[in-house]
Amino acid sequence: MSALSVEQWAQKVKENDRKAAAKLISAIERKEKIARDILKQLFVPVGKTTVLGVTGSAGAGKSCLVSCLISAFRKRGKTVAVIAVDPSSPFTGGAFLGDRLRMQVHGRDKGVYIRSMASRGYLGGLARGTVDAMRVMEAMGHDIVIVETVGTGQDEIDVARLVQTCILVLTPTMGDDIQAMKAGIMEVAQIAVLNKADMPGKEKAILDLEVALRMRPTAEDGWSVPVVPTVATTEVGIDEVVGHIEKHQAHIRQGDGLKKFAFQKAEKEGSVLIKDEIERVIFDHIRGTGLRRKYLEKIVAGEIDPYTAVEEVMSLFIKKSAKGV
Amino acid sequence: MSKAKENKDRKIKVLVSKVGLDGHDRGAKVICSLLKEAGMEVVYLGMYQMPKDVIDAAIDEDADVIGPSFLSGEHLVYTPLLVEEMKKAGLDDVLLIAGGVIPAEDIPTLKEMGVKEVFTAGSLTEPIIKYIRNNVRR
């Protein structure tokens, strides 16, 4: 791909060339400059793609549910792209990406594109570069893009700002009504799925969820969150989930809903990009200078506290950039 | 951009899969785990995969290494199909290595077919990791 110009590469992605798209996502993961240049060409402000998020704790059945959703959308004649994020090891940097395995039944379907991404230290349930990869899949022309987060706990809610319809996958072992009432991830979903609904505790869990959801003030846009029991392994309840997705999609497409979503996404993406860029510029400046190590040793030796250290590094950087270095 | 920085963001991506009617995946899982510990990103496809499924996945994932695992004795049947699919897809720079329970006398044949290296049951971790690091595309 490196022999291609930015324009040629972007064009190949737009023509749904899987290899060009796959190579571009790798370049994004490696933060290569050419990736950003191509992404500039692929940018569409308010696209027609349906963007879904699937989140929930590890082992709740997110990947299985996504596989079922793929089947359901394919039956309706839609093409589907999936980003499946799994965690990177903070110790070795390695990752075991096991989401694709649950979706391999779609392996040969040309209308389905699945990409596993390792989180690479990015917190918030997504991978660094997930938003860019979503853009690549939209540019490929897929009708539906699904982002599956890493197994989340209570607070990884980034996905909710980046997708139109967010599906939270829970199980009957999710805990009691107190858990259901908590802030964070319980608040982000437009659809709550109670998967593994063939396990004991289903009725109690549904009741806890419905009560907790009803205690909340109605969402600003008037959408009330349905609770849908499913058994993803046997495809029970999937049509109901798809029905609610379609209903929510119709709901946000009223008036200027899509524009509002685009604004919210741009806001989130902008803040992430700026933070990344600041980090990159600062670390590029201090890399190889031994400054980082020097400060760390000073902190450990008690010669400086971490707050002052950061202030000093920042002021050094600001002075440098003012001089145009 | 400094060289150290490039290396940090350049992760080796390995696609591991069982191929054909072969449900013995303990070895494949052990390998996945070892490669993860070595800092690689490993996609595991699971069992009963056909050559085309493996190669299609390798394209989508932009895998640097494809590692089929055999215990069923079908390595001489499926390897040519894997190589053929790789050729069709133009994955010339992707490293194909095989593992599992493979008789020593079959190893030269597998290499003739296009497998770059074979690691049989009992292989040590270090040589596998070293081999991948030294032979993967840059």
Kindly state the tokens that stand for A259.
Answer: 């524009």
Kindly state the tokens that stand for A297.
Answer: 């040793």
Residue A45 DSSP one-character state? S
Q: What tens digit of pLDDT does each residue of B18-58 get?
A: 999 998 999 999 999 999 999 999 999 999 999 999 999 99
Summary mean pLDDT of chain A = 89
Q: What tens digit of pLDDT does each residue of A213-248 get?
A: 888 777 777 888 999 999 999 999 999 999 999 999
Q: Is A116 on the interface with B (CB under 8 A)?
A: yes
How far apart (Å, rounded) are the C-alpha atoms in residues A105 and A112?
A: 11
Region of A124 please: left (phi>0), alpha (psi -120 to 50) or beta.
left
How far apart (Å, rounded) are the C-alpha atoms in residues B26 and B125?
A: 15
Average pLDDT over residues A269-284: 82
Question: CA nearest A63: which of A116, A135, A26, A113?
Answer: A116
For the ranges A40-54, A104-118, B90-104, which has the lowest average pLDDT? A40-54
* CA dihedral (A151, A156, A160, A162) positive or negative: negative
How far apart (Å, rounded) are the C-alpha atoms in residues B107 and B117?
A: 8
> Is the pLDDT score of A296 beyond 80?
yes
Intervals of CATH 3.40.50.300 along chain A: 44-255
Residue ranges of the domains in chain B? Answer: 12-132
> Is the pLDDT score of B101 beyond 90?
yes
Q: Is B92 on the interface with A (CB under 8 A)?
A: no
What strand order describes the sheet that includes A144-148? Answer: A112-118, A80-86, A144-148, A50-56, A165-170, A191-194, A227-229
How far apart (Å, rounded) are the C-alpha atoms in residues A322 and A297?
A: 28
Q: What's the pLDDT band for B6 if we cut at 50, 70, 90? A: very low
Looking at domain B12-132, which CATH architecture does it have?
3-Layer(aba) Sandwich (3.40)
In this complex, do B10 and A89 lie within 8 Å of one another by their Cβ atoms? no
Q: What is the pLDDT of residue A237?
A: 97
Average pLDDT over residues A91-110: 93
* CA dihedral (B15, B84, A16, A27) positive or negative: positive
Taking each helix axis from N to C terminus, what angle separates A6-14 and A130-139, rounded to the nearest 10 degrees?
A: 70
In this complex, do A92 and B36 lie within 8 Å of one another by their Cβ atoms? yes
Summary mean pLDDT of chain B = 92
Q: What's the pLDDT band for A158 if we cut at 50, 70, 90? A: confident
Q: What is the pLDDT of residue A321?
A: 61
Q: What's the pLDDT band for B8 if we cut at 50, 70, 90? A: low
The model's pTM: 0.90
Q: Which residues of B89-111 are buried (b: 16+ CB within 10 A; e: fewer)?
A: bebeebbbbbbbebeeebbeebe
Question: CA nearest A210: which of A232, A222, A221, A194?
Answer: A194
Which of A23, A29, A108 is facing B56, going by the closest CB pair? A108
Q: What is the pLDDT of residue B63?
A: 98
Average pLDDT over residues B48-70: 96
Which residues of chain A are within 8 Å of residue B89 when distances are taken between CB atoms?
19
Q: Is A282 on the interface with B (CB under 8 A)?
A: no
Which of B5, B6, B42 is facing A96, going by the closest CB pair? B42
Which of B4, B37, B62 is facing A92, going by the closest CB pair? B37
Q: Is B37 on the interface with A (CB under 8 A)?
A: yes
Bridge partners (DSSP) of residue A221 are none
Average pLDDT over residues A293-311: 93
Q: What is the pLDDT of residue A141?
A: 95
Which residues of chain B are within 8 Å of residue A25 when distances are taken between CB atoms?
62
For the ranges A120-124, A208-212, B70-74, which has the lowest average pLDDT? A120-124
The answer to whether the beta carbons of residues A25 and A129 sit under 8 Å apart is yes
Which residues of chain A are within 8 Å of residue B33 when distances are taken between CB atoms?
96
Average pLDDT over residues A285-299: 87
Average pLDDT over residues A109-116: 96
How far apart (Å, rounded) are the C-alpha atoms in residues A175 and B85?
A: 48
Q: What is the pLDDT of residue B4?
A: 41
Residue A103 DSSP one-character state? G
Given the candidates 1.10.490.10, 3.40.50.300, 1.20.1300.10, 1.20.1050.10, the CATH classification of the domain at A44-255 is: 3.40.50.300
- For chain A, what is the radius of gyration of the CA atoms? 22
Q: What tens digit of pLDDT does each residue of A46-71 get?
A: 778 999 999 998 899 999 999 999 99
Residue type, B45: L
Q: What tens digit of pLDDT does each residue of A181-218 get?
A: 777 777 888 999 999 999 999 999 999 999 888 887 77
Kindly state the tokens that stand for A166.
Answer: 């967010």
Which of A22, A101, A108 is facing B44, going by the closest CB pair? A101
How far apart (Å, rounded) are the C-alpha atoms in residues B108 and A39?
A: 45
